[in-house]
């Protein structure tokens, strides 16, 4: 498990327990399988951006907050850096997807 998966899995488990939810109840709430929640918490699976948003909404936090280490001193600075990194990553992902879509469209014509 890499560092970002460890952060996500630990935070997800902590938030789930703080909200008094079992893996099954959380899964039901966000319309997925309990086994999938278990795999995320164990670091075996990494959720899509859409699933990250569902998880964040379930706990009433911003998506990027799922990746913030616990017990840090300057949380605002870390939040901003993570937000900017995620924004950049998602932007690159969307650009790659747009290029793939354009190539498929060109081939069809």
If 0-12 CB within 10 Å is exposed, 13-18 middle and 19+ buried, where does residue 37 land?
A: buried
- For residue 16, give every residue at least 6 positions away whose Cβ sits within 8 Å of its Cβ, in sequence order, or none: 22, 23, 26, 37, 41, 59
> Which tens digit of pLDDT belongs to each residue from 64-89?
889 888 766 677 777 787 778 888 88
Q: Which two tokens stand for residue 102?
A: 């354009």
pLDDT at 27: 97
The pLDDT of residue 102 is above 90 = no
- For residue 30, give every residue at least 6 positions away whose Cβ sits within 8 Å of its Cβ, in sequence order, or none: 51, 54, 55, 57, 58
pLDDT at 71: 66
pLDDT at 85: 80
> Residue 4, Cβ neighbours under 10 Å: how many?
14
pTM of the model: 0.65
HSE at residue 42, side-chain half, CA atoms within 13 A, is 9
Coil, strand or helix: which one is 45?
Answer: coil
């Amino acid at each position: 498990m890499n560092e970002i998966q460890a952060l996500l899995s630990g935070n997800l488990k902590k938030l789930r327990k703080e909200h008094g939810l079992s893996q099954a109840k959380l899964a039901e709430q966000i319309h997925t399988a309990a086994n999938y929640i278990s795999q995320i918490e164990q670091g075996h699976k990494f959720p899509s951006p859409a699933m990250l948003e569902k998880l964040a909404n379930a706990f009433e936090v911003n998506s990027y907050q799922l990746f913030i280490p616990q017990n840090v001193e300057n949380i605002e600075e870390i939040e901003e850096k993570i937000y900017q990194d995620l924004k950049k990553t998602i932007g690159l992902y969307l650009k790659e997807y747009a290029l793939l879509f354009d190539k498929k469209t060109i081939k069809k014509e």
